[in-house]
Amino acid sequence: CIVRATLAIEKETPENERPETFLRSGDDPHSSVAASTTSVRARFERMIREAQDVVCAAVEAEDGAGKFTEDVWSRDGGGGGISRVLQDGEVWEKAGVNVSVVYGVMPPEAYRAAKGGDSSQNPGSVPFFAAGISSVLHPKNPFAPTLHFNYRYFETDTIKDSPGAPRQWWFGGGTDLTPAYIFEEDMKHFHQIQKQTCDKFDPRFYPRFKKWCDDYFFIKHRGERRGLGGIFFDDLNDYDQEMLLSFATECSKSVVPAYIPIISRRKETPFTDQHKAWQQLRRGRYVEFNLVYDRGTTFGIKTGGRIESILVSLPLTARWEYGHEPEEGSEEWKLLDACINPREWI
């Protein structure tokens, strides 16, 4: 496209076909481990690609009309991704399910954004590997909640000319729900599934990751959370690596049973213009969180990532009214109250 030819950032190249893998074979100069088919990198890639297929199939089936379109892209620097978007379906107005597998050498500011560390750390350029699945599903009906989930795996390699520097790995991710109206049974169902999944691995996971989620999705300048939570964890490496890979896999598999039954119940509920306007205001808060605080978004923006894939998380439409305050005791007020004062749902 001529218009965009002046862009100076590193560009993604569109591809016509999905590759079998985005990993380089054996001789990856940036990796100290062989990219074998049994490496954590390779197994994580297969996991997120399967999860993408499963979630997209479930969304299409529940929508009944909309279909995902797919963009495959590669980066000269290394790796690539598959972006799938369903726009203007019957049930969802915008649904994005992306996987990406990228590696290369990370500028120091991107490393800091990824690590979330303070700026006093100045590690220089660091070879890295990052793979993840990221999805935001925005339904049309204001009684049907937005879902977000994201599971990612991150490695840094030994720094060149610093052979003693350690190789590090982390897992991160979570699944959280953002309704405009509270249905107790939906919230209970959603959180129950998160807890069941967590409990398979460690009884301390759900309380820890539920609170982490409430803390993470905090819109500081509003004093309220984006939504009603779920689970969230980041920079996790203080457990067995195989256990965490298995945990991320189970979390990804729980997305469909946690979410789709709620959509089935709510997708055809009649609503008024006032319900829709409130949903739009809450979507404004969604935009505020993602652009101001979300680490994935800020990381993507700083690394010059594929901007359409990064910002597919934003809703189709959003609204900002000056000084809007819901009437005390109203359904809107109850939602806002739960965003300000997180509740236990189970």
Q: Whole-number minimum distance, CB 92 to a copy of itself, in Å?
A: 12
Q: Which is nearer to a copy of itself, 38 or 120 (CB)?
A: 120
Q: Which segment (25-33, 179-187, 198-206, 215-223) binds a copy of itself by CB under 8 A?
A: 215-223
Rounded-to-10 torsion of CA 311, 317, 322, 327: -120
Residues 6+ apart with CB under 8 A from 249: 47
Phi, psi of 224 (to 5 degrees): -145, 160
By the rule CB under 8 A, 16 interacts with a copy of itself = no
Q: Give the integer Cα–Cα distance in Å for 121 and 61.
A: 48
Between CA 86 and CA 58 the distance in angstroms is 12
- SS3 for 17? coil
Give the number of residues in contact with a copy of itself, rule: CB under 8 A.
Answer: 48
Picking from 14, 19, 17, the residue whose alpha carbon sits closest to that of residue 46 is 19
Contact string 278-317 vs a copy of itself (x = CB under 8 A): --x---x--xx--xx--------x--x--xx-xxx-xxxx
For residue 275, indicate whether it is catalytic.
Answer: no
Smallest gap from Cβ 60 to a copy of itself, in A, equals: 16
- Selected range binding a copy of itself among 26-34, 160-168, 218-226, 227-235, rule: CB under 8 A: 218-226
- Encoded amino acid at 153, one letter: Y
**14 belongs to the binding site for a copy of itself (CB under 8 A):** no
Among 148, 189, 191, 275, the active-site one is: 148
Q: Smallest gap, in angstroms, from Cβ of residue 239 to a copy of itself?
A: 33
Q: Binding string, 54-93, against a copy of itself, x = CB under 8 A?
A: -----------------x-------------x-x------
How far is residue 129's CA from residue 101's CA, in Å, rounded to a whole number?
8
- Reduced to 3 states (helix: H, G, I; strand: E, B; else coil), residue 104 is strand
> What is the rounded CA–CA span in Å between residue 309 and residue 181?
28
Exposure of 62 by Cβ count < 10 A (0-12 exposed, 13-18 middle, 19+ buried)? buried
Under the binding rule (CB under 8 A), the answer on residue 140 touching a copy of itself is no
Catalytic residues: 148
Binding stretches for a copy of itself (CB under 8 A): 1-4, 6-9, 71, 85, 87, 94, 96, 119, 220-223, 280, 284, 287-288, 291-292, 301, 304, 307-308, 310-312, 314-323, 325, 328, 333, 336-337, 340-341
